[in-house]
Amino acid sequence: MQEFIIESISNELDQAIQKKIDLKTKPLGALGTLEKIASKVCQIQGTLSPSLNKPAILVCAGDHGITEEKISPFPQEVTFQMVMNFLGGGAAINVFCQQNNIKLLVADTGVNFDFHPSKQLIDLKVRKGTRNFAVEPAMTVEECTKAMVNGQKIVENLHNEGTNVIGFGEMGIGNTTAASALLCKYTKCTAKEASGAGTGLDASGINHKADVIDKAIKLHSEINSPLEILATFGGYEIATICGALLKAAELKMLILSDGFIATSALLAAHAINPNIIDYCLFAHQSEEKGHQLMLQHLKAEPILQLGMRLGEGTGSAVVYPLIESAVQFINEMSSFEDAGVSNKE
């Protein structure tokens, strides 16, 4: 597997950043989380004058063989139907991206459907859905690596176009089961702790999901390397996002980390190179059970907690205006000296 050169962010600017924030015309800490966001963006960009350029969200879609185990109340064809909804502009992520002037890209990484060629849809299909990981590995290592490389190329292209802030979303019936299995393998939590309602399972359905995951983990008990774990239990959309995340950090882009499934890709990326966390802002805490465990494992503090659990990258799109506000205040707000206002003695 390709080695990702992700530099750990140095703290040499930390004092200067904090001084600039503290000298703004406000009491110390009065802008709360916005101050933390501004500081983080400055650290990532290595500057006291940060900028947000050409924001983009990449939504990756893929199907999952694990649906054969009846772990979702929705049929698999909902995946391609929702992709068509993205292309038609009718999904939540379309609305929020349009509202906040965020470029939206939609990629078919492994949907079990033949789409007509479209300028709106990026064809990254590796295979028509993963295999059933309750029976065999979801992907071969080669397939998983191909999906990761696809994600890297998309991010590299965006970076070359001037994008320096990126978020990720997903669509794939069955992918909360894949994400839960990845959570178990990367954090050593139990299947029961990791399994939630997904697209609307009742208590019985959640218990069944946990049983399926538990049996699959026992079946593949010898799998331990980060890449093999991702290939065995993940999905093409998750692997694509994982590769994209690693490339974004390597290019020192600001990463907006979204909800449960997108964060499972970040778990994989973190297992490959822990320095990736230095480049992430965590948009929100999903209501999907298990996301809190992911955030705890990554020692991450989410910006929002709105009771959301939709996916698609919606958390990242919704939080973006707050990040803009943080960048605006550190760049545009007057200091006490500039404004001729007396500071605290």
Q: Is 312 a catalytic residue?
A: yes
* Cβ contacts of 227 within 8 Å, gap of 6 or more: 1, 141, 144, 145, 272
pLDDT at residue 282, rounded to an integer: 98
Which of 300, 241, 306, 248 is CA-nearest to residue 276?
248
Confidence of residue 1 (pLDDT cuts 50, 70, 90): low
Q: Report pLDDT digits (tens) over 229-285.
A: 999 999 999 999 999 999 999 999 999 999 999 999 999 999 999 999 999 999 999
Mean per-residue pLDDT for 299-309? 96
Q: What pLDDT digit, counting tens, does each position of 192-243 carry?
A: 999 988 878 999 989 999 999 999 999 999 999 999 999 999 999 999 999 9
**What does the angle CA 39 – CA 45 – CA 46 come to, to the nearest 5 degrees?**
80
pLDDT in tens, 146-170: 999 999 999 999 999 999 999 999 9
Residues 93/86, Cβ–Cβ less than 8 Å: yes
Set 312, 332, 337, 345: catalytic member = 312
pLDDT band at residue 337 under the 50/70/90 scheme: confident
Tokens of 201: 């399972």
CB 276 within 8 A of CB 299: no
Which pLDDT band holds residue 338 (cuts at 50, 70, 90)?
Answer: confident
Tell me how far apart the alpha carbons of residues 94 and 213 are, in angstroms, rounded to a whole number: 32
pLDDT for residue 197: 86
DSSP 92-115: HHHHHHHHTT-EEEEEEEE-SS-P
Judge whether residue 342 has pLDDT over 70: no
- Does residue 341 carry a pLDDT above 90? no
- pLDDT, tens digit, for every residue of 72-126? 999 999 999 999 999 999 999 999 999 999 999 999 999 999 999 999 999 999 9
pTM for the whole thing? 0.96
